[in-house]
Amino acid sequence: MRISVIGCGYLGAVHAACMADLGHHVVGVDVDPGKIAALAEGRAPFHEPGFPELLARALDCGRLTFTTDIARTADAQVHFVCVGTPQLPGSDAADMTYVDASVTALVELNKASGRTPIVVGKSTVPVGTAARLAAQLEAVGSTLIWNPEFLREGYAVNDTLSPDRIVYGLPQGPAGEAAREVLDEVYADQLRRKIPRLTTDYATAELVKVAANSFLATKISFINAMAEICELTGADVTQLAGAIGMDDRIGKKFLQAGVGFGGGCLPKDIRAFTARADELGAHDSVGFLREVDKINLRRRDRVVHLAQEALGDRLPGAKVTILGAAFKPHSDDLRDSPAVEVATRLSALGADVVVTDPAALPPLARLHPTLKQAEQIDGALKGADLVVLVTEWREFVILDPVETATLVNAPVIIDGRNVLNPAKWRSAGWTYYGLGRP
C-alpha cells in the first residue's frame, strides 16, 4: 500500500517505520525540518529501544522516505494522522491546532489531486472530534476511520507491530465498509496473526483511548493514595499492592506506588478528558480524575518534603544527586517528568543538584540548561549529602549500597520508586526513605 504518516513524533515516526517494515511504501511528513532531516539520515530524534535498527532497515530498503512537503503524499491510498495534541497553555484542554491543520491540508490535497484516499486518525483527541473531521473529509470524498494508538514509550515498536487490540471507529454504510477493507489491507499482517480488531462508531473509538489512559492513571493514583495512608499508619504499600494484586480481578500491573506518573500522555489525557466532560455538561462523571491528578502531584511534593526532612537546615548548598530525569526508564522523554520537577524544585530551594540519567541528559541540557548534570553515576554520587532515585533505570536499581556508601558524603537515600531493598540499604549504613513504606 502507499501510505503517508502525518506527524513524525513518537507515534508517527514509529508507525511510519513499522508500516514500511510490514512492506508498505511510506512517506513520513512533519513541519519540523530538523526532525525530518534526522529521520531521513537514519538518526532517531528520541530514545526508543529497537527504533534506530527498524528505521535503518526501512530506509535501506527504500520503502520509507521523509518530507516537510505534504504535497508529496498526493498519491497515498491511506493517510495516517499522528500529530500531537498537547495540553493548551493555561487550560486543561488539548490543543487541536495540529490535528485541524493536518485535516485542512488533506482536504486541500484531495481538491488539487482529485483523489479520495482514506484518512486514519491516530492522535488522542477529545470525543466528538472524529465526527467533526469526518464531515470535512466527506465533503471531498474521503472516509475517516478513527484508529487510536495504545503504544507505550520504551516498547513502541513491539506495541505497534503487535498491539493488544486494533480499534476502528467507522461510519455505517458502504463508505465505512470500503474504508475498513482498505485499512484491513494495511494491517493484514496483524490480522493474520489474529490480533483482535474491533469495529465501532467514532465516539466509542475515541473514548476507548481516553478511558484506557484514565483507568491506568486512576490505578496508579489509587495505590499512591494508599501510600499516603500507609505513611500515616506505618503500613507498607509495596506489601499491600502485592497482596491486593494477587486477586486477578485487580491485577498486579500499574500498582507500583512512588513519585507518580508523568510523560506526554497520562497527565494531559486525564486533564483533556475532564475539560471535554465539562463541555458536555458531565463535570461530575469524570470529576474523580481531578482527584487522580491531585494525588499524583502530591507525590512529587512528598519527595521534596522528604528531602527537606532529611537535610533540614542544611538543604541550601547541600549536594543532592538525582538519579533519573526521564518520566520512566527506556525513554528520554522529559514531558511532565516527576524527576525533573523534583530536581528543579530542590534546586530552587538552594540545593546543589546534580542529575544523572542514562538517556535523557541531552534533552535535559536543552530544556533545563541551569541544572547540573553528570554522565557517570559514580561522578554524580561523589560527595552527595542526599541521593534521590526518581526514575527506575536498571543502572540505579542494581546499585550496590556498600560501594555507593563509599562515594557519598552522607548515606541518605530517598527511593522515589520503591525499587530498592530497604533492609539491604539500611544494613549498609544508609538512612532509607521510601514512599508509603515505613
When the beta carbons of 254 and 288 are compared against ligand UGA, the nearer one is 254
Catalytic residue, from 8, 18, 82, 265: name it: 265
Residue 173 DSSP label: S
- In DSSP notation, 174-192 reads HHHHHHHHHHHHHTHHHHH
Tell the smallest beta-carbon distance from residue 115 to ligand UGA (Å): 30
Residue 393 DSSP label: -
Q: What is the C-alpha to C-alpha distance for residues 150 and 198, in angstroms, rounded to an integer?
A: 14
Q: Is 256 helix (H, G, I), strand (E, B) or coil?
A: coil
Residues 6+ apart with CB under 8 A from 112: 71, 74
Q: What is the C-alpha to C-alpha distance for residues 387 and 353, in angstroms, rounded to an integer?
A: 10
Tell the smallest beta-carbon distance from residue 41 to ligand UGA (Å): 26
Tell the smallest beta-carbon distance from residue 80 to ligand UGA (Å): 15
Nearest to 351 by CA among 376, 372, 326: 372
When the beta carbons of 29 and 265 are compared against ligand UGA, the nearer one is 265
Q: What is the CA radius of gyration of the chain?
A: 23
Q: What is the C-alpha to C-alpha distance for residues 167 and 208, in angstroms, rounded to an integer?
A: 8
Tell the smallest beta-carbon distance from residue 262 to ligand UGA (Å): 4
Nearest to 195 by CA among 161, 168, 148: 161
Nearest to 356 by CA among 333, 318, 403, 388: 388
Residues in touch with ligand UGA (CB under 6 A) = 124, 149-153, 213, 216, 220, 254-256, 258, 260-263, 265-266, 327-328
Q: Is 262 helix (H, G, I), strand (E, B) or coil?
A: coil
Q: Is 413 helix (H, G, I), strand (E, B) or coil?
A: strand
Task: Give the number of C-alpha atoms closer than 13 A to the C-alpha of residue 119, restricted to the C-beta side.
Answer: 30
Residue 246 grid coordinates: 494477587
Tell the smallest beta-carbon distance from residue 413 to ligand UGA (Å): 18
Tell the smallest beta-carbon distance from residue 216 to ligand UGA (Å): 5
Tell the smallest beta-carbon distance from residue 140 to ligand UGA (Å): 29
When the beta carbons of 30 and 385 are compared against ligand UGA, the nearer one is 30
Distances (CA, A) of 349 to 127, 260, 328: 41, 21, 24
When the beta carbons of 176 and 329 are compared against ligand UGA, the nearer one is 329
Is there a catalytic annotation at residue 265?
yes
When the beta carbons of 255 and 408 are compared against ligand UGA, the nearer one is 255
Q: What is the C-alpha to C-alpha distance for residues 314 and 384, in angstroms, rounded to an integer?
A: 12
When the beta carbons of 200 and 256 are compared against ligand UGA, the nearer one is 256
When the beta carbons of 110 and 418 are compared against ligand UGA, the nearer one is 418
Catalytic site positions: 265
